[in-house]
Amino acid sequence: METINPVEQAAPDNYTDTAMSEALMNPLVLDLIFAKLSVRGLKTCRLVCREWADVGVNLLAKRTFLQLHKLFRYDDASKLFQVNHVDSKLTQRLIIYNTLFPSIPTNDKTSVLTEAIRMLDSTKIQNISVFFKPQKFRGLQIPKGKVQPCRLLPILSNLTSIKFELFGIIREKTRNSFHPVLQILIDAAPNLTSLDVSGSFYPNLEGCKKLKILKLFNVKCADTRICPKLDVAAVTRMLAQVKDSLEEMELRHIGGVVSQHHNLEVPVMSQLASLTLNPAHLNLSHALFDGKHLPKLNHLELNDYFDVSPDLSTHLDVWGRHEGVVSLSLRLDHYGLNDAIEGKLVQLFPSVKKLYFPQYG
């Protein structure tokens, strides 16, 4: 008679099902599976059970933005209240549109917006994106009356990224009404590492000691009489405030006028390694663009998208030689390259080893 070794005995019929069930409750296994799903599939899986919901919420928070206007309502009695409550883990990334509370006058909207963020009461917020664009390019009109003051936000220690965009035909009063929101968000984020601002804003960055990425987009308006100038003094002030932490910077200026300032104290950007700008910014300060003021710069991109500035060759005349730049990217659809420009680029950046000519898509 054959003797059966207990170690080699056949597994019970339900062994496979039990092992599978245990695996599908293992957070490490679920992380690998859920990472392959679409956002819609991930949301569906979270409905299966509490364990799956707990694991899926972390992945969902990293892949989606929570829309603030779907969480709050503003009634006829001028009262703000939260109508939808969500897992606090999902508040890592907030997105705010100008559709938020459309019935509220613009000069009240900013204070209501900050109050909504305050009421959310989340210490997990890592990323906030704000987008305001006038409907049908008619502009945002400020009713007569004083803009309501905004309450300060509590410190959001996990907030590391802010994107703030104001596009369209924007009048100065409208721009000024939204500036406090931007400044309040910045002041509440002592650990901010990335700031992307469009709409001719020049916030105070004194408290941004850890800021590594700065993107500024100055946009012209349709009425040339009210188009904001590129404020060179304001940009220089901002750079001085983050001169010891900034590693990557983009400066874009579409149309409008570049203000002229002389004898500005130019900061040494000790950590800046990557710089993108269009030729209008070459007049930012002649003393800034050299090896002394940008000692760690190794990548430079010149971008003339929508630029209507004078000849690029004239701009390059004010630059200083920089032997640290090894990567150069040129988007010069407006200017094009000629022998004069090519010769000056060779003289200014003799160490370049990588040259790119990206196209606009």
Classify residue 36: in a domain, yes or no. Answer: yes
What pLDDT is recorded for position 148? Answer: 56
Tens of pLDDT, residues 304-314: 655 555 567 77
Q: At 346, list the tokens.
A: 């060779």
- In this structure, of 70-74, 122-126, 357-361, the range with the lowest mean pLDDT score is 357-361
Sorted by sequence, the CB contacts under 8 Å of residue 106 that are 6+ apart come out as 140, 141, 142, 143, 174, 177
Classify residue 58: in a domain, yes or no. Answer: yes
Which long-range contacts does 356-361 make (Cβ < 8 Å, 24+ apart)?
356/327, 356/328, 356/329, 356/330, 357/329, 357/330, 357/331, 358/329, 358/331, 359/331, 359/333, 360/305, 360/331, 360/333
Query: For residues 230 and 185, what is the distance between their CA atoms, to the nearest angstrom?
Result: 23
What pLDDT is recorded for position 205? Answer: 97
Tell me the mean pLDDT in the region 102-121. 74
Higher pLDDT: 82 or 44? It is 44
Higher pLDDT: 194 or 59? It is 194
Classify residue 32: in a domain, yes or no. Answer: yes
In whole numbers, what is the pLDDT of the chain averaged over residues?
A: 77
Tens of pLDDT, residues 197-232: 987 788 999 999 999 999 988 765 545 455 566 777
What pLDDT is recorded for position 204? Answer: 95
Total-model pTM:
0.81
Classify residue 297: in a domain, yes or no. Answer: no
Classify residue 97: in a domain, yes or no. Answer: no
Q: Is pLDDT above 50 for 241?
A: yes
Tell me the mean pLDDT in the region 101-129. 77
Helical segments of 121-231, H only: 172-187
Query: For residues 106 and 173, what is the distance between their CA atoms, to the nearest angstrom?
Result: 10
Classify residue 41: in a domain, yes or no. Answer: yes
Classify residue 344: in a domain, yes or no. Answer: no
Tens of pLDDT, residues 305-352: 555 555 677 777 778 889 999 999 887 766 566 777 788 888 889 999
Helical segments of the chain, H only: 15-23, 27-34, 39-45, 50-63, 106-120, 172-187, 232-241, 312-316, 339-348
Q: Is pLDDT above 70 for 150?
A: no
What pLDDT is recorded for position 195? Answer: 97
Split into its structural domains, the chain has a count of 1
Classify residue 30: in a domain, yes or no. Answer: yes
Domain of residue 34: give its range: 21-63
Q: Is pLDDT above 90 for 194?
A: yes
Kindly indicate the confidence band of residue 137, based on its pLDDT and cuts at 50, 70 and 90: very low
